[in-house]
Amino acid sequence: MKVCIVGASGKLGQYMLQHCLDHNYEVVGVCREQSIAKLDRFKDRVTIIPGKTNDREVIRRAVEGCDGVLAVLVPWGVQKYSSGTAQAVLDYAPPGARLIFSCGWHITRDGRDVYSRLFKTLVATVGWLARLLRFVELDDQVEACRRIFSSDTRWTVVRGSDLEEGESQGLPVWSHHVGDPILKSNLTRRIDFALFMVEALTNEGLIHEAPAIVGRQTPSALEHASQPL
Ligand SMILES: NC(=O)c1ccc[n+]([C@@H]2O[C@H](COP(=O)([O-])OP(=O)(O)OC[C@H]3O[C@@H](n4cnc5c(N)ncnc54)[C@H](OP(=O)(O)O)[C@@H]3O)[C@@H](O)[C@H]2O)c1
């Protein structure tokens, strides 16, 4: 399988890269010019295409011939970074390719997610501060996902909980809606978020789903482990 990782030099991207190599996938990585050195340890095993991930020409070249695309959606700057990245992937990935996008729990597909008061306050505060300082554009990640949800490509949007570093605990568990009891612990190891993204490439059951994930060893996951999802 040939896989393109859009945003390969970030923390999530590097974990995805390692998981893909562990699967013996052929990998093309897109990352900003100034971040190429972060991928030094992979350089003999990966084709790197330097550039911003919302540069349509960069994405067009990178996804050519790929069976799957793993795209990290990030809302940096006031430059439509997330929606530009998502749109380019949707437009240029080969027909039939599996497209897996990352985002956070604040994205809702059908409005049926139930958020705690703390979570809503946090998102509102971060969004307000970010708009004020013009360094993050949370609304653009929402717009990116709106476009993905209305696309007829073979997409999956993986919604990550709060993240932590650490050894893998295995494939996270997931549920359709934030607020479902199994997700209550709201914590996933970043390495396992990446694992879920990579496993989604070959899981047809996740096509047109927006799974909200949580670490499989967290208390809420263990408590609800026997219940089928
Ligand atoms: N952090 C969390 O707690 C959290 C929680 C839930 C979900 N998520 C989701 O997880 C995914 C990865 O998040 P992460 O926090 O782990 O970050 P990350 O993997 O470290 O990714 C950050 C990405 O943003 C790029 N980037 C950084 N500064 C930039 C700038 N000024 N302009 C353009 N690109 C820039 C980085 O590229 P360079 O390598 O070039 O800097 C990298 O590709 C995202 O989709 C996020 O929504 C995160």
11 Cα to the center of ligand 1, angstroms: 7
Domain ranges in the chain are: 2-223
- Cα 74 to middle of ligand 1, angstroms: 5
Going from the Cα of 10 to the center of ligand 1, the distance in angstroms, rounded, reads 6
Cβ proximity of 218 and 185 under 8 Å = yes
Given the CA of residue 12, which atom of ligand 1 is nearest to it?
19
Q: Is the pLDDT of residue 144 over 70?
A: yes
- For residue 72, the CA-to-ligand 1 centroid distance in Å is 7
Least confident of 176-185, 197-206, 218-227: 218-227
pLDDT of residue 128: 83
Chain segment 101-111, per-residue pLDDT in tens? 999 999 999 99
Q: Is the CB of 163 under 6 A from ligand 1?
A: yes
Q: Lowest-pLDDT range, 70-84, 105-119, 186-200?
A: 70-84
Which ligand 1 atom is at minimum distance from the Cα of 163?
3
pLDDT of residue 106: 93
CA 4, 80, 110, 132 torsion-angle sign: positive
Residue nearest to atom 33 of ligand 1 (CA): 76
Indicate whether residue 74 lines ligand 1 (CB < 6 A).
Answer: yes
CATH code, 2-223 = 3.40.50.720
Beta pairing partners, 164: 189
Q: Which two tokens stand for residue 217?
A: 């060893």
Give the distance (Å) from ligand 1 centre to CA of residue 223: 31
**Could you tell me the two tokens for 90?**
């949707």
Check pLDDT > 60 for residue 227. Answer: no
> Per residue in 160-192, pLDDT tens?
999 999 999 999 999 999 999 999 999 999 999
Mean pLDDT, the chain, rounded, equals 94
Residue 78 has what pLDDT? 66
Q: Is 158 helix (H, G, I), strand (E, B) or coil?
A: strand
pLDDT at 131 over 80: no
Q: Among 14, 15, 74, which residue has the most ligand 1 atoms within 8 Å of its CB, making it the best to mutate?
A: 74
* Atom 46 (ligand 1) nearest CA: 103
pLDDT tens-digit series, residues 27-61: 999 999 999 999 999 989 999 999 999 999 999 99
Mean pLDDT computed over 216-229: 83
Residue nearest atom 1 in ligand 1 by C-alpha distance? 163
Question: Which residues, at least 6 apart from 100, have a Cβ–Cβ distance to it below 8 Å?
Answer: 68, 69, 70, 71, 155, 156, 158, 197, 200, 201
